[in-house]
Structure 1
């Protein structure tokens, strides 16, 4: 039986790789901040600030299931530093777009994460 397929990259290198790659896969002038999840060494905390007048901030937790697959969870959506209901259509569309971008970024980083 082969050994378990686990993520084998230093956390600091993973954060740096995400910080460099995520803006390349996002197609808008949105900004993002990437940090390690202090409670889970397999996870990143990513905040995406949407461009424009809405002033939305989307907090995601991205967890490496193995060296290739990530699970993306929406933690919170804020507008002007206040949590908002994420169920409206515009917010849902943005969540879908950002989730897709996060998966694209993970895929682009396979060269680093899948050894």
Structure 2
């Protein structure tokens, strides 16, 4: 018996669901942008703009491995539109926080993505 646990939601529905749900799982002053990944129908591109005077933005790719599990990949960290070295401790802490928020959002969307 083969069990397929594929994501059945189309990318537009997924994008809209993330757009509505992500702000609820993040820290309120931070802002997020959600876009479909045009090269991969199971992926979204998410940019998180950190609040405060640091002016960092974090680009992530979220890929649905199956209907429940997402893979979160950091693409880039920028400050005032310049790529920065993401290895410093403060940025690593923010990356860890945002990755957790992204997983929380995916969990909150299980009601839609679960087969």
- Whether TM exceeds 0.5 here: the answer is yes
Kindly state the Cα deviation for residue 111 of structure 1 after the two structures are TM-superposed.
Answer: 0.2
Tell me how far apart the structure 1 counterparts of residues 111 and 52 of structure 2 sit (CA, whole Å): 33
Deviation at 1:28, TM superposition (A): 3.4
Match of 1:10 in 2: 10
Shift of 1:27: 2.1
CA deviation digits over 1:69-92, x for unaligned, max 9? 000000000000000000000000
SS in 2 for 1:87: coil
- Give the gaps of 5 or more residues in structure 2: none
CA RMSD of aligned residues (A): 0.7
Report the counterpart of residue 49 of structure 1 in structure 2.
Answer: 49
| Residue-by-residue CA offset, 1:45-71 (whole Å, 9 max, x unaligned) | 000000000000000000000000000
User: What do residues 22-56 of structure 1 show as CA deviations (whole Å, max 9, x unaligned)?
Assistant: 00000231000000111111100000000000000
Q: In the comparison of the two structures, how many residue pairs are matched?
A: 115
In structure 1, what is the equivalent of residue 59 of structure 2?
A: 59
* Mapped partners of 1:99, 1:32: distance in 2: 13
